[in-house]
Amino acid sequence: MTEERNSLKEFFNYLRHHDLKMETVPLKEQKDYQHPDDDVDFHAYRILLLIFICGILKPTFFDNFTIYGRGKFSFYDFLIRYPFYLEKALRIKNKEDKIKDLEIKHYETEEAFSPMIRYIRGPWDHKYPDILNYMVSKNLITVHYSYFNKSQKAFCITLTDLGLETAQKIQTEEPIWTKRMEAINAIFRKDAQNQTIEMFVREHFSTLILGNAGE
């Protein structure tokens, strides 16, 4: 340890004696590392594809692909962030033939690439308001509380024309995500209501609900 300190001291003394400076990137060119989970564009990218693949077209009620139901949206997003739960859901619904299409990597069984929290009715991300507001500001989606049938309203996220165009481009670049989202469609009907999803979570994944312990 003493030798290391002496060597380091000699190194800096040499720099001072010869008026040498260590080469660094100019301050204005330095970039701070940003974790993907803190990158709003990263989330917007995934959510656009999710609405396009798992959303529904109902011209009488919506202008474009729409996911309706706050819990439905957050649980679908959860299944993409935690694909090993998507595999469990496929087994529960006897859709084992779809599992190979998920192409789950080993590291994906150990941790999520983008964590979520347990909330009142299931998984949730406290960043959703900021993420969705950002997407609205970029004219990618509209967020509204609207009828999804003749008698019921729900929280809705609808693609704009720009959002649809962007989502279609993302689909060509993300075949694995696309297959995983299509697997969600194999588990739940596209017109599945929020209550259906919440009942599924409560019955099969109760630990995802705030205050519950044990499966």
pLDDT (tens digit per residue) in 174-210: 999 999 999 999 999 999 999 999 999 999 998 888 6
Tally of residues, the chain: 215
Whether residue 203 is contained in a domain is answered as yes
Whether residue 102 is contained in a domain is answered as yes
Whether residue 1 is contained in a domain is answered as no
Domain containing residue 157: 36-208
The structure's pTM equals 0.80
Residue 33 or 188, more confident: 188
Whether residue 24 is contained in a domain is answered as no
C-alpha span between 159 and 67 (Å, rounded): 9
Whether residue 95 is contained in a domain is answered as yes
What pLDDT is stored for residue 10 in this prediction?
Answer: 67
Number of domains making up the chain: 1
Residue 119 or 198, more confident: 198
Q: Which pLDDT band holds residue 173 (cuts at 50, 70, 90)?
A: very high
Mean pLDDT for the stretch of residues 77-85: 93
What does the mean pLDDT of the chain come to? 85
C-alpha span between 76 and 109 (Å, rounded): 17
Is the pLDDT score of 72 beyond 60?
yes
171 CB-near residues (< 8 Å, 6+ apart): 49, 52, 53, 178
How deeply is 116 buried, as exposed, middle or buried, from its count of CB atoms within 10 A (0-12, 13-18, 19+)? buried
